[in-house]
Every structure is written in C-alpha cells, then in structure tokens.
Structure 1
Amino acid sequence: MNARALLVALLLLTGCDKQPASEGFAGLGQGSEDFAPVVPGKVFSFPADHGPHPDFRIEWWYVTANLSDAEGHQYGVQWTLFRNALRPGADQPGWGNGNLWLGHAGLTSETRQFSAQTQGRGGVGQAGVTAAPFSAWIDDWRLSGDLTGRAEVQAKGPGFAYRLDLAATGPLVLQGEGGVSRKSASGQASYYYSQPFFQAQGELQIEGRRVPVKGLAWLDREWSSQHLAADQLGWDWFSLHLDDGRQLMLYRLRQADGQHYLFGNLIAADGHNQPLHPGDIRLAPESTHRVAGREVPVRWSITLPGQHLDLRIAAVNPDAWMALGTPYWEGPVRVEGSAKGVGYLEMTGY
C-alpha cells in the first residue's frame, strides 16, 4: 500500500518507470544520508504522527476500500497522497518549499478500471497535511477527520469519482516491531502504522452513474528516508479483511537474486498484533494475467502454518492496472480457503 512507498522525485517529474538497478524500484533504494534515519524505539504520538515528518525523504497516506452495491457487485477504491522531499530542509514557506506532492486515485469494478494522478508543489496551499484537525489534500482530493473515529475520503478522475464516510471500529495498529517495519535483511525500514478497522459507506460515480456502496476500508501510513534496498525490484502487498474479524497484512519484497524478503502481521479483532517473519509465511503466485504488456500474478496462495490459515487470493478484476506516471497493478481481491474475506493487492515493478 500501500498503497506504499511508490515514487521518488525523478519518477514523479518524468513519468518514467525504469530506474538503474542500483537504486531499486522507483529509486526507493537510493541512499539517504542527509535525511533522518528510521531507528528502533520510536514512541508514536497521535494525532501528531498523522501529520508530515519533514526530516524524512518519503511518506504517504493511503486508503483502500472493498465495497459492494445493493445487487452484490464488488468494487474497490484507492486514495493515496505521497510527499517526497527533493532536498533536506525542504519544509520552507512559499515557493522555497522543496516538497513534491503526488496524488493517486483508482476505482475498480468487476469489469472496469479507472485511475488518475495529480501533483503539486508544497508551500503554496495546493497540497499538504495537517495533523490536528487531520486533513490531507491535493487539489480537491481530500482525506480528513478522526482516524480513530469518523473520517471521509473523496477523489475524482476521468470517468469516475467517489466519496466515502469512514467509521473506525478498532484501534490504530503499529506494524513491524513497535511500528518499525524492516524491509530488507540489510536493514532498510520505515515507520508504519495502519487503521484496518474502517467501516465504509458512500457513493461511487462511474461515467455519470451513481452507485451507493458500503464495505470495509484500510488506511496505511508510512514514512522513511530509504524505503528499499538497492537490489529490490518491486513488491507484492496484501491487506486482507477476514470474515472472523481478523486482518492480515503481508509484504513480499522481490529481490534481484530471487531471495525475496517476506514479512507481515496478523491482527486480531481487538487490534492485538502477531508479527509474521519470513519463516512464518508461505506465499506463492498461482496464475498470471497479461495486462499492459506485463505478466502479472492475479491468483495467489497464502499459508501461515503456525496460524492454521490456508488462503487462496483472486483478483476481482485482473485488469486493475494503474496506468499512471509510474504504473503498477492495484485492485480488490477475494479470499477463499480456511477463511473467507476481501482485501486489496498492490504489485509494483512488473
């Protein structure tokens, strides 16, 4: 999800999805010695940590929602705001501000995929985030409210729009070890927390047709200065709502040598965490689909032997390709097997 660390300044400005191998996917493996590091032992503070962290190079606010209409048709929406510091000390007033902001929005139906991108410069009011009251915006796209209570999210693009009311039914969840999410064996990491307990209700607009919907939503917050190792080519990220009230987050960071880095978190209905390490997870693609000239896995198996979970994941719409400046696959999925449910899958670097 994250939408997830997705982009760095070069890609945002050029729309290029190829980077030198030494910089990792989307340049997220670039060195970051002049920015703040991620270190263990951080004490999270809310609502302050809902706001920006200008000493870090990259951060994002990211919402996905699994929705259905009165006839049972399934939909998904994505809303993401990225902040990328073009230089240390970027948080300056006016046109001296060195933050680049990027918004991504998507809407997926069982047969259609819509996506949009917008970008802006910080410091001039076009985009930004305030912690209290919480509001994240770029142009007229907005996520605002109380991330432990009631919030709303809205965006629009060519052929689509959505507005959802969100109501939290559980606590914020720190990912990784106390909110430090390690992304590689060499130590790259992010600060990472989620709100996986949103109930969602609202309206989609699809080519002028209004569709009332309701369902489940998930918010991710991450910030870092070097999100990936230089040899990591992309990732596969799952956020799953299981019917028994548990939530499951899994990451597979794909490395050039094929020794992929796995981690995750099984979240109980009361918000209690069970961090998952590489030896706890068996994750494998089962079939692929050709989209935008790429072969992309759209069916997966997930087995957590220690948790007695054996799941099969299938895309609601295999053509859920986000054809943006940096393209990637992102869309809703169905969950079958030892537990049923719904969720979201993001795949980058294909």
Structure 2
Amino acid sequence: MNPIVVRTMRLFPLLALLLSCSAVSSVDVGAADGGPAESPISFQRALPGYQYHFPYDHGAHEAFRTEWWYYTGHLTDASGRRFGFQLTFFRRGIPPEQVKTLPSAWSIQQLYLAHVAVTDLSSGRFHYADKLSRGGLGKAGADSGRLHVWIDRWSLSMDDQHRQLLQADTEDFGLDLQVTPLKPPVVHGNQGISRKGGDPSEASHYYSFTRLRTEGRLRQGSETVTVTGIGWMDHEFGSADLGRDIVGWDWFSLHFNDDRELMWYALRRADGSTDPASSGTLVFPDGRTQPINAGDLLITPEAYWTSPRSKARYPQRWRLRAPSLDLDLEVRSLLDDQELDTARSTRVTYWEGAVSAAGQAGGRAVTGQGYVELTGYAKRFTQRL
C-alpha cells in the first residue's frame, strides 16, 4: 500500500508571523557550528531530588527553558478501522536578557509550538500539521498549577473528573479526545531526573501516564468517526542541552497485552554508538516500575525506509532484547511514511509513528502496540532540551 501524506499548515497574520520569526531568530534552536549551544544561566536546571505534586505539576514550569506535553495512542472505530494519533505542545522560554522591550500585551517571553498527526492504518493515509505562536494577547499559553495549554483552538486541559481533554482541528483533519489514566504517573530516571548526556547537568524532569483509556472523535475531511483505544502521555521539562556528541534519539513507548508498558530511549552518538545515558522504564500491571539502564536493553534495527522527501533513512523494524528482563521482541512500523517536516514550528524533520510488537516476555508470548520517535536521521538534532 502506498501511503498518502497530507500536510496542513496554518498561515499566521503577517504581524504575528513577523513577531514570531523575530523571537525565534533571537533564541535559535541550534548553535552556529551545528552543535548544541550553551543554555543560559537565567533558567533553572533539572537537579536530583525534585518532588512532584499532582495535579499541580501537569501545568507549566516557566522556571525551566523548555517543556513539552506529548500524547500518542492507538484507536479503533465501530467498524474495526484502526488509527494512530499524536498531539504534542511545546513551550520555549526566552531568556529575560533577550526579551524585546515592548508594551506588556506584546511582550514575547514564551513561544508555543504544537504538532498533530493522525495515521489511518486502514487506508494508509497520514495527516499532520504544526503551529507556532508567541505568548501574549491570548493567542497561546500554558497555565501553571493545572493542565491547560493552547494555541488558538488547539488545546490540552483537564476537567473536574481528571480526564485530560485533547483538541486540534485543521482544514483536512482533526481530533477531539478524552483520556483517563488507568495507572498512576510514572517518574522516569534516578532521583527525579532523566539523563540526556554524560554531564550531570544534561538532564530533564520526565514523567508519563503509560496507559490512558481514550475515547472521542477523529475527523478526516468531511468524515467523523467515534473511536476508543489506549494512549500514552509524556510531560518533560528542563533547561539543559543534549550531550555534544549526541545526534538524535530513538524513543519507544509500548503497551503489552499483559497490562505492562515499556518506555525506552536510545541517545545516538555521532559514531553510531548508544550513549550510556540512554535509559527506560518497565511498568508492571499494578503500577510498580523497574528502571532499565543502557546496558540492560539491546536494540538492533533490521529493516529501513528512505523518505522520498528528506532522503532520511529510518529504521522500520527492530529487535529488542533485554535478558535481565527476560524480554525478546520484534517491533514493526505499521506504516512506513509517518515523517513530519515541522519547518514552520520546531524546524525538525523526524519520524513519529504507530508500531506493533510481538515476542516473548517472562517465558510467555506477548503482543503489543505503541509509538516510536526517531530524530536526527534527516539532520543532526541540535535543539536544546
């Protein structure tokens, strides 16, 4: 089946676009030499010992430079058609010394960016869109102390029943979903920090809801369907850079049919090796967790797909082996072309797609589904954390 990729892009009014571009140019996501730039001292670092308080920590943390709220999942409609989805919001703080002197309503202290994608696995259609807006004048924002993030009419929020509400609509497609956690939040890493390089300062605070009951509606063109399924949520914030020799990462989130979940990210070095800061978490049915260190899990790519647009060569099938966890899996992409070119927002071309999993765990056969994110294949990933 040949995939059909539909790209939707919102064009901002001229004034807003000029202001946004000006702000982006003053906080460039990559250093001039192609490597990560130094993070300004005006933002707080992710340090060991951070104590989470929910639901307060679902909100924005403006003391940190970069933050994102990320949702993916697998959905099915009443006829059995299968879909995948992604909705991600990013907040990017501008150092106070770089903030332009403007009247308060026009002050640019935060940039907000968002990506949305829907994969129709039955037809092979992949839709995606992205947005960028500055904070101010109510166009975009993120509340502290509660989950409420928005750009125009795209939004994340939480209702009185603690359901998380996801909304994004474009000319070609849209989603309106409600997700309910089936397990407590999982804090990744050691002492509340997730390492992103060899230096202790190269870290972030990172937690997930690894199993979300998901229901709502998806729209493609004039067709709207009711869907149900299982989702995943990540929330991460920090101010550090990636390690200087890291060019990208491979990130996996998997739901298994035995009610366990697996998160794993492999930080790739320029020489092709995996950085020792790579890590993951295995989540048990009762919510208990087991950390996974870099030496505990081996991922071997076994098949590739080359993008006709970016020419990037992405892995599409993997062997995951973790002897200490008695885990041996094959993970497969469910559609080759799930590549996003976000030149108008985060300026990164990456692959983010729905996958399946099958293999052995604890001596028993398991199956699963999830999402994989691949960065740094089209171009070295230089964005700060």
TM-score, normalised to structure 1, is 0.89
Match of 1:335 among 354, 357, 369: 357
Match of 2:113 among 77, 97, 102: 102
Equivalent-residue separation in structure 2 for 1:147 and 1:177 (angstroms): 32
Tell me if 1:344 matches 2:371.
yes
Tell me if 1:243 matches 2:243.
no
Equivalent-residue separation in structure 2 for 1:80 and 1:273 (angstroms): 25
Secondary structure at the counterpart of residue 295 of structure 2: helix
Match of 2:158 among 139, 145, 156: 145
CA contact (8 A) 2:60 2:145 kept: no
Q: Is the alpha carbon distance of 1:309 and 1:278 closer, same or farther for their aligned partners in structure 2, counting shifts above 3 Å?
A: same
Opposite residue 318 of structure 2, the aligned amino acid is W
Post-superposition offset of 1:347: 0.6
Opposite residue 305 of structure 1, the aligned amino acid is P
Post-superposition offset of 1:257: 2.6
Match of 1:3 in 2: none
Equivalent-residue separation in structure 2 for 1:39 and 1:10 (angstroms): 32
Equivalent-residue separation in structure 2 for 1:240 and 1:343 (angstroms): 4
CA contact (8 A) 2:87 2:116 kept: yes
Residues 75-123 of structure 1 show CA distances to partners (whole Å, capped at 9, x for unaligned) of 1111111111121476x95322321111111111220111111111113
Q: Is the alpha carbon distance of 1:12 and 1:309 closer, same or farther for their aligned partners in structure 2, counting shifts above 3 Å?
A: farther
Match of 1:226 in 2: 240
CA contact (8 A) 2:340 2:352 kept: yes
CA contact (8 A) 2:150 2:156 kept: yes
Secondary structure at the counterpart of residue 376 of structure 2: coil
Opposite residue 340 of structure 1, the aligned amino acid is T
Secondary structure at the counterpart of residue 94 of structure 1: helix
CA contact (8 A) 1:23 1:230 kept: no
Secondary structure at the counterpart of residue 79 of structure 2: coil
Query: Please, what is the CA RMSD of the aligned residues?
Result: 2.5
Match of 2:189 among 176, 179, 183: 176
Q: Is the alpha carbon distance of 1:41 and 1:208 closer, same or farther for their aligned partners in structure 2, counting shifts above 3 Å?
A: same
Q: Is the alpha carbon distance of 1:151 and 1:71 closer, same or farther for their aligned partners in structure 2, counting shifts above 3 Å?
A: same
Q: Is the alpha carbon distance of 1:21 and 1:284 closer, same or farther for their aligned partners in structure 2, counting shifts above 3 Å?
A: farther
CA contact (8 A) 2:61 2:144 kept: no
Equivalent-residue separation in structure 2 for 1:98 and 1:157 (angstroms): 27
Equivalent-residue separation in structure 2 for 1:217 and 1:134 (angstroms): 17
Q: Is the alpha carbon distance of 1:84 and 1:132 closer, same or farther for their aligned partners in structure 2, counting shifts above 3 Å?
A: closer
After alignment, is 148-157 or 136-145 more displaced? 148-157
Match of 1:215 among 221, 229, 242: 229
Equivalent-residue separation in structure 1 for 2:324 and 2:373 (angstroms): 25
Tell me if 1:129 matches 2:148.
no
Q: Is the alpha carbon distance of 1:276 and 1:99 closer, same or farther for their aligned partners in structure 2, counting shifts above 3 Å?
A: same
Post-superposition offset of 1:131: 4.2
Equivalent-residue separation in structure 1 for 2:69 and 2:160 (angstroms): 11
Match of 2:7 in 1: none
Secondary structure at the counterpart of residue 312 of structure 1: strand
CA contact (8 A) 1:74 1:316 kept: no
TM-score, normalised to structure 2, is 0.81
CA contact (8 A) 2:341 2:350 kept: yes
Q: Is the alpha carbon distance of 1:247 and 1:129 closer, same or farther for their aligned partners in structure 2, counting shifts above 3 Å?
A: same
User: Structure 2 regions of 5+ residues with no counterpart?
Assistant: 1-19, 361-365, 378-385
Match of 1:84 in 2: 92
CA contact (8 A) 1:22 1:230 kept: no
CA contact (8 A) 1:136 1:143 kept: yes
Match of 2:304 among 288, 295, 308: 288
Post-superposition offset of 1:23: 5.4
Match of 2:333 in 1: 315
Secondary structure at the counterpart of residue 265 of structure 1: strand
CA contact (8 A) 1:105 1:157 kept: no
Opposite residue 96 of structure 1, the aligned amino acid is S
Match of 2:39 in 1: 31
Structure 1 segment 183-202 matched on structure 2, within 5 A:
183-187=196-200, 188-202=202-216
Match of 1:74 in 2: 82
Match of 1:4 in 2: none
Post-superposition offset of 1:314: 0.8
Residues 136-189 of structure 1 show CA distances to partners (whole Å, capped at 9, x for unaligned) of 111101111159931211112241111111111110110111331011222311
Equivalent-residue separation in structure 1 for 2:247 and 2:22 (angstroms): 15
Secondary structure at the counterpart of residue 113 of structure 1: strand
Structure 1 segment 255-274 matched on structure 2, within 5 A:
255-261=269-275, 262-274=278-290
The count of residues paired between Structure 1 and Structure 2 equals: 337
Q: Is the alpha carbon distance of 1:336 and 1:21 closer, same or farther for their aligned partners in structure 2, counting shifts above 3 Å?
A: farther
User: Structure 1 regions of 5+ residues with no counterpart?
Assistant: 1-8
Equivalent-residue separation in structure 2 for 1:148 and 1:222 (angstroms): 23
Tell me if 1:63 matches 2:76.
no
Equivalent-residue separation in structure 1 for 2:22 and 2:282 (angstroms): 33
Residues 323-346 of structure 1 show CA distances to partners (whole Å, capped at 9, x for unaligned) of 221221111111111221110111
Tell me if 1:161 matches 2:174.
yes
Equivalent-residue separation in structure 2 for 1:235 and 1:79 (angstroms): 19
Equivalent-residue separation in structure 2 for 1:219 and 1:244 (angstroms): 19
Secondary structure at the counterpart of residue 300 of structure 1: strand
Between the two proteins, what is the percent identity of the paired residues? 38
